[in-house]
Structure 1
Amino acid sequence: MLQLTKQRHHKRDTTPQEGHSTFAKNLTPSMQGDRLILKAGGKVLENARWVMSRMARCEIFDPDEVAIAHVYTRVCRRCFLLGDDPFSGKNFDHRKVWIEEHLRQFASFFGIDLLGFSILSDHFHLILRSRPDVVATWSDEEVARRWLMLCPHRRTADGSPMTPADPEIKSIAGCPVKRAEIRQRLSSFSWWMRLLCQRVATRANREDEQTGRFFQDRYHATRLADEASLLACAAYVDLNPIRAAIAETLEQSDHTSVQRRIEALVEEAAVAREPCSEANGGEADDARSRRSTIRGDAFLSPVSIDEQFDPVGPCESASGKRCSDKGFLAMRAADYLELLDWTARQTVPGKHRTATGVPPILVRLGLDRATWCELVKDFGRLFCSVAGRPGCVDSMRCHRTHRRYHLRRRARELLTTSG
């Protein structure tokens, strides 16, 4: 006989536990800069931060306009998978060479100018300028050829892309939908970073016999809205190895754009000192022109730009090593290197400070020494989606929702007082 036993139903205790109501009543939130400070019973709760969702990149960058961005990405779990890894005891410096090789290839085929870069052991920084105006001048066949060199259907034995055949080019050039999509991809930051991270991650995982993520997440992008933010970001990127105590001088900053520019200037000075006789003067000039096209910084955009005398328009590069020959700073390359050296002496502990005053470019931009040093040292913390002076950032709007961009409080205070 089956006996049924009564289950005793206990009434749920709905009274709050001791201390819960007191905790909720005494919880007082407040803002300290960009941090959310919670106080309970006079005690400050640590690790409490104001969490905001990251703005979509389509709100920041319009694919049809020229824009300059600072982008960076980190490897997973902040491991040193691009340099000396203390956990495995291995050295992965050769992966920095991989990244630089891809940067050279991308600079020659993408419709994007590479203004600067810095590759460290666990992350890398790039400064990119989209050039949809240059891509608009390319023919349909040129668009197809460049894309097939970036994503080839056939490769040689050493892995380099083979020259695309006519049927491959016509398969893209003859399709209006595919042609328009690829034309937009060639000036897209997202596709640049997508192909770069994908190829580095695939090659590194194959080398380590691993699978899964290699980079921590998608890249972070900050739009540079004015000249002051561009100059500060360029110095921030080029001085990364010195600030991280990896290198002591600009010349020793391996795998950076400033090192490539210095090497090119040294080589150019050596070529200029070569004797030139009248008999072989023409041959010497031809040799100099050939060396200028293969110089170490040929894939980088030139530093100097003269808005008064430089030609107006796309200025497409004839060398084929980069997208265009348009510079990005209103100063000579030598003056930019002097500014970097002066900044390093001001911001890095242990550096001998020179007695010279503030460089002329900072005087023209209205930046004093303290403001400039803080901008270069904490650029990544001061700005999120858009970097620039408050007046410039406040006048900009998102492309789809037309909202205002957020400028962090410290950046607003810093650039308002200096301006």
Structure 2
Amino acid sequence: MPRPRRSQISLEDTPMYHCCSRVTRRAFLFGDDELTGKNYDHRRDWVESQLLKLAVVFAIDIAAYAVMSNHLHLVLRVDIYEANAWSDREVVEHWHNLFKGTDITQKFAKGEVIESFEVNSLKHSIAQYRSRLSDISWFMRCLNEPIARMANKEDKCTGRFWEGRFKSQALLDDAAVLACMAYVDLNPIRAKMATTPENSNFTSIQRRIKAALNGEQPTSLLPFVGNERNEMPKGLMFNAKDYLQLVDDTGRIIRQDKRGAISQTSQRILDRLNIPQENWLKLSTDFGDLFKGAVGTLQELDAFCEHQEKKRRQGAANCHRWLDSA
């Protein structure tokens, strides 16, 4: 039986989550349809465009994404502090980028006078919007529903486009986050949809590589900010260049027609995470099969299960085997 999202999300333990949605009806609704000969790659562009739009509206950052032929992978970071720091007007403006809101919130956004009897309703709406704008379920709803409507209109049909609700798993430490990001970024390589990360269309890794060629990082993605330090900016606690090198090294090893090896730069990252090379290759290629629930060391998993009042530690054996190697 599917578990409610509240049992899979615990911001007390981590702001980082891996989410996945699959399409239904046919095997390929984003790529080439072998039956009709039609190409649906423009739908992958729909997904990517909507995803990047939501990253601006929500207090949720995108660390990695890959829009595949029949499914979508995301690594997201919930920024509850950003949502709480928004003024009431900012909350309403963000919400109105996606929804009409109410007559009262429309008046508030335009700077019109709010009557005394309307104040409680306005406060309730703002509190509700603020909560939703830092909610992964609402983020995925605002991503998946418009795509489903557009695809159904194009196909001249009704019914489900996505295969049930999205799947979500908590990433409890840096090793889990980095392994999951690499797994997502290398999806097209493993699926033989691309030969190199820079040729992997509709992925975060391609966007990061293009920005890196100009010595920059993409503004639409959660940045890498280097090693942890005092008063550090929000971001991933690794060097962007080092991460791109690690993904490139790993991709070369995954491809059977290319010779590859872990470089000294990449090895330093693995040493910092206490992950042996063989464990890293397993994690970055089979992450989705290895873990169905929260991912992290046993210590982190125990804390997560305690906070969620879970009696069973799902995936504990694989967490211990692949992440407790130090």
TM-score, scaled to structure 2: 0.89
Is 1:261 the counterpart of 2:182? The answer is: no
CA contact (8 A) 1:239 1:340 kept: yes
CA deviation vs aligned residue, 1:212-250 (integer Å, no higher than 9, x gap): 000111000010001110010010000010111111111
C-alpha distance in structure 2 between counterparts of 1:81 and 1:96, whole Å: 9
Structure 2: how far apart are the matches of 1:226 and 1:168? 48
Q: What amino acid does structure 1 have at the position aligned with 2:297?
A: R
CA distance in 1, matches of 2:176, 2:308: 24
Flag structure 1 segments of 5+ consecutive residues without an equivalent. Answer: 1-52, 155-163, 270-291, 316-325
Matched, 1:136 2:57: no
| 1:196-235 equivalence runs, <5 A | 196-235=143-182
| Structure 1 residues 86 and 150: alpha-carbon distance in aligned structure 2, compared to 1, 3 A threshold | same
- Name the SS of the counterpart of 1:180 in structure 2: helix
SS of the residue corresponding to residue 396 of structure 1 reads: helix
Match of 1:67 in 2: 15
SS at match of 1:125: strand
Equivalent in the alignment of 2:64: 116
- Matched residue, 1:372: 280
Question: CA shift at 1:54, angstroms?
Answer: 3.4
1:391 Cα shift? Answer: 2.2
1:89 corresponding residue in structure 2: 37
SS in 1 for 2:198: coil
For the 8 Å contact 2:64–2:221, the answer to whether it is kept is yes
Superposed CA deviations along residues 320-368 of structure 1, whole A, max 9, x for unmatched, are xxxxxx211x321111111011111222322212474561010122111
Aligned to 1:351: 258
> Which amino acid counterpart does residue 180 of structure 2 have in structure 1?
C
Distance, in Å, in 1 between the alignment partners of 2:65 and 2:83 is 23
Secondary structure of residue in 2 paired with 1:183: helix
Classify 1:167/1:352 alpha carbon distance in 2 versus 1 (closer, same or farther; 3 Å). farther
Task: Give the Cα separation in 2 of the matches to 1:117 and 1:350.
Answer: 25
CA–CA separation in structure 2 for the residues paired with 1:110 and 1:211: 29
Aligned counterparts of 2:70 and 2:221: Cα–Cα separation in 1: 23
The answer to whether the 8 Å contact 2:250/2:262 transfers is no
Contact 2:73 2:184 (C-alpha < 8 Å) held by counterparts: yes
Q: Distance in 2 between matches of 1:69 and 1:210?
A: 33
Q: 1:300 aligns with which of 216, 221, 229?
A: 221
* Structure 2 CA distance for aligned equivalents of residues 173 and 302 of structure 1: 39
Asked if the contact 2:249–2:262 (Cα under 8 Å) also holds between the matched residues in 1, the reply is no
CA shift for structure 1 position 62: 3.6
Query: 2: CA distance between counterparts of 1:63 and 1:172?
Result: 30
The secondary structure found in structure 1 opposite 2:32 is coil
Counterparts of 1:303 and 1:208, CA distance in 2: 40
CA separation of 1:65 and 1:178: change in aligned 2, threshold 3 A: farther
**2:135 pairs with 169, 175, 188, which one?**
188
DSSP 3-state at the match of 2:63: strand
Bigger Rg over Cα: 1
Residue 301 of structure 1 aligns with an amino acid whose one-letter code is L
Amino acid corresponding to residue 337 of structure 1 in structure 2: L
Distance change in 2, residues 1:400/1:233 (3 Å): closer
Aligned ranges for residues 13-412 of structure 1 at < 5 Å?
A: 53-62=1-10, 67-77=15-25, 79-152=27-100, 165-166=110-111, 175-266=122-213, 268-269=214-215, 297-311=218-232, 326-328=234-236, 330-354=237-261, 356=263, 359-397=267-305, 399=307, 401-412=309-320
Distance 1:123 1:354 in 2: 29
Q: Give the C-alpha shift of residue 306 in structure 1.
A: 3.5
Preserved contact between residue 390 and residue 407 of structure 1 (Cα < 8 Å): no
Deviation, structure 1 residue 409 = 2.9
- Give the share of equivalent positions with the same residue, in percent: 37
CA distance in 1 between counterparts of 2:289 and 2:114 reads 45
Q: In terms of mean alpha carbon deviation, does 373-382 or 356-365 score higher?
A: 356-365
Q: Could you tell me how far 1:385 is from its partner in structure 2?
A: 1.8
Q: CA 1:355–1:151 in 2, change beyond 3 Å: closer, same or farther?
A: closer
* Partner Cα distance (1:381, 1:298) in 2: 31
Contact 1:236–1:379, Cα closer than 8 Å, also in 2: yes
Distance apart, 1:178 and its partner CA:
1.8
3-state DSSP of counterpart to 2:197: coil
2:105: which partner in 1?
none
Aligned equivalents of 1:58 and 1:169: distance in 2? 35
Structure 1 172/189 Cα, relative in aligned 2: closer, same or farther at 3 Å? farther
What's the C-alpha RMSD, in Å, of the aligned pairs?
A: 2.5
Q: C-alpha separation between the residues in 1 aligned to 2:95 and 2:245?
A: 39
Residue 103 of structure 1 aligns to a residue whose secondary structure is: helix
Q: How many residues align?
A: 317
Aligned equivalent of 1:43? none
User: Deviation at 1:124?
Assistant: 0.9
1:132 counterpart letter in structure 2: I
Q: 1:63 to 1:172 in 2, by over 3 A?
A: farther
Q: Tell me the alpha carbon deviations over residues 95-146 of structure 1, each in whole angstroms, 9 at most, x when there is no partner.
A: 1111111112111110111111101111111111111111111111110110
